[in-house]
Chain A
Amino acid sequence: MTARLRLSDRARLAELHGEAVVLHLATGRYFAANATGAALLKALATPGGATVEGLVDGLVRDHGADRARAAADVEAWVARLREAGLLAADAAAEGTA
């Protein structure tokens, strides 16, 4: 089972020059991301969200990242988003193929 992650309903994403800021509307806390992070945030902002594996796959596919390094980076990045309250609390679990 792999949890699908998505941005909180109280978070909003804005982009500038290919980078992004996601802002929590209740707390004012925000998270700024470079172009790579912006792509991940946009995946999390889709209605269905994304899995950690899907985010890692994107980094490997689109940026040629080393998979182990990408997985560690994504895990840390997701933890920071969660700590800032920017991820939905009701992330649904979904079976993987």
Chain B
Amino acid sequence: MTGGAARTLVAGGRRVEVRGPADLVARALGPLAALEPRAGDAPPPAGPAVVARVEVAGPGDVPPDARPRVTRWVAGPPARITTDGVGTATFDADGGVTLRVREDVPANDLAAERLAIPALAERLRRDGVFLVHAACLRAPDGAGVWLVPAARGSGKTTLSLMLRRAGHGLLSDDRGFLVGPPDAPRIDPWPEAPRVGDRSLYLLPPDAMPGPRDPVMGKASVPALTPPRVPAPLPVRGFLLPRLVPGPGGPATPVRGAAALAPIASQVVVATDPATAAATLAHLAAVLAARPCYAIPVGDDPAVAAAAVAALA
């Protein structure tokens, strides 16, 4: 183990300090490092930080490795999130989170995606900061951000890249932090490079070369399209639900009720305290009641998808 580290993240206007052995912290952070303030960013928000302590897991702290690795909520005591073969996260009385991570966890995104991110998401939900799985696109007229919540394979990245070609600002390919009251929601996009599959390759600009393909996901990261970090959360304009269709695509249609709520709710509250989950679902429903939601048929003509969204002004 190397010496101690203290790294600061900013998520949804909340400051998070991650402390522990430097190499273990690095493995726990993974893609969370994109949330570190960059040179020239606004100063991190004032007020007390959420402290995440990263420690080496002791014998018996971590469930045995298994396939598939499952991340689950354990009511306790102590209440915790555990991930098979990776580690455990406990929620401390001082409002902090303690991540106990196996020392031999691989130096890839495993510890972050399966443990640290679910744990921080659970902790931040308690402060009204909701991690949502959605692409975030700033409309060309600057009037707010469209969120594109969708499960893997439903056309989220395809629609995002189509809209990018039409002048939307791609602020996140996959997730962001939803904050603010339900009738005035704002989003802090998580600025990660988009991951592109075969369906979307033709939508990349000529100078944006994808990296190596992930053998599991079948997608390749495109570092050249890594979004900028926005200085503060932006107003949410509404929600776009992609629906892959044969042919060129078609006009947008309004979506209400369960069809609007299910795609976003199903991505948000897995491995969570049931009480937090209930509050989160109620908040998401209130946000969706206050903002429009549309289905966008995504075909093979980017101009049709762009026109469908442009007509929503």
Chain A residues packing against B (C-beta within 8 Å): 9-10, 12-21, 23, 25-30, 32-35, 38
Q: Complex formed: what's the CA distance from A30 to B269 in Å? A: 11
Q: A23-B265, A33-B258 are in contact. List 16 more A-B contacts (CB 8 A).
A: A12-B274, A14-B265, A14-B285, A16-B260, A16-B289, A17-B257, A17-B260, A19-B256, A19-B258, A19-B259, A19-B261, A21-B266, A23-B266, A23-B269, A25-B73, A34-B257
For residue B158, CB closer than 8 A to chain A, the reply is no
Q: How many residues of B contact A (CB 8 A)?
A: 25
A10 B274 Cβ-Cβ under 8 A = yes
Least CB distance from B10 to A in Å reads: 28
Please judge, given known A-B contacts A26-B72, A26-B73, A30-B266, whether A14 and B272 are in contact too, CB under 8 Å: no
Picked from B261, B272, B285, B289, the residue with its CB within 8 Å of the CB of A25 is B272
For residue B62, CB closer than 8 A to chain A, the reply is no
* B258-284 with Cβ < 8 A to chain A: 258-262, 265-267, 269-272, 274, 277-278, 281-282, 284
A21 B277 Cβ-Cβ under 8 A = no
Residues of B within 8 A of A17 (CB): 256-257, 260, 289
For residue B288, CB closer than 8 A to chain A, the reply is yes
A12 B266 Cβ-Cβ under 8 A = no
Q: Complex formed: what's the CA distance from A12 to B262 in Å? A: 12
A30 B271 Cβ-Cβ under 8 A = no
Interface centre among A25, A29, A30, A35 (most CB of B within 10 A): A25
Least CB distance from A48 to B in Å reads: 19
Please judge, given known A-B contacts A23-B281, A25-B274, whether A16 and B257 are in contact too, CB under 8 Å: yes
Q: Complex formed: what's the CA distance from A14 to B259 in Å? A: 12
Least CB distance from A8 to B in Å reads: 10
9 A-B pairs (CB sep. < 8 Å)? A10-B274, A14-B285, A17-B289, A19-B258, A19-B259, A21-B281, A25-B277, A30-B262, A32-B258
* Chain B contact residues, majority secondary structure: helix
Residues of A within 8 A of B282 (CB): 14
Picked from B261, B267, B272, the residue with its CB within 8 Å of the CB of A16 is B261
Least CB distance from B76 to A in Å reads: 15
Picked from A21, A26, A34, the residue with its CB within 8 Å of the CB of B261 is A21
By beta carbon, the residue of chain A nearest B75 is A9
Q: Complex formed: what's the CA distance from A13 to B258 in Å? A: 11
Least CB distance from A2 to B in Å reads: 27
A12 B261 Cβ-Cβ under 8 A = no
By beta carbon, the residue of chain A nearest B151 is A28
Q: Complex formed: what's the CA distance from A30 to B266 in Å? A: 7
Least CB distance from B241 to A in Å reads: 13
Residues of A within 8 A of B270 (CB): 25-28
Please judge, given known A-B contacts A21-B265, A25-B277, whether A16 and B288 are in contact too, CB under 8 Å: yes
Q: Complex formed: what's the CA distance from A44 to B261 in Å? A: 20
Least CB distance from B264 to A in Å reads: 10
Residues of B within 8 A of A23 (CB): 265-266, 269, 277, 281
Q: Give 1 or 0 for each of B52-73: 1 = CB within 8 Å of chain A CB.
A: 0000000000000000000011
Residues of B within 8 A of A13 (CB): 281
Picked from A19, A28, A30, the residue with its CB within 8 Å of the CB of B257 is A19
By beta carbon, the residue of chain A nearest B260 is A16
Residues of B within 8 A of A29 (CB): 266
By beta carbon, the residue of chain A nearest B288 is A16
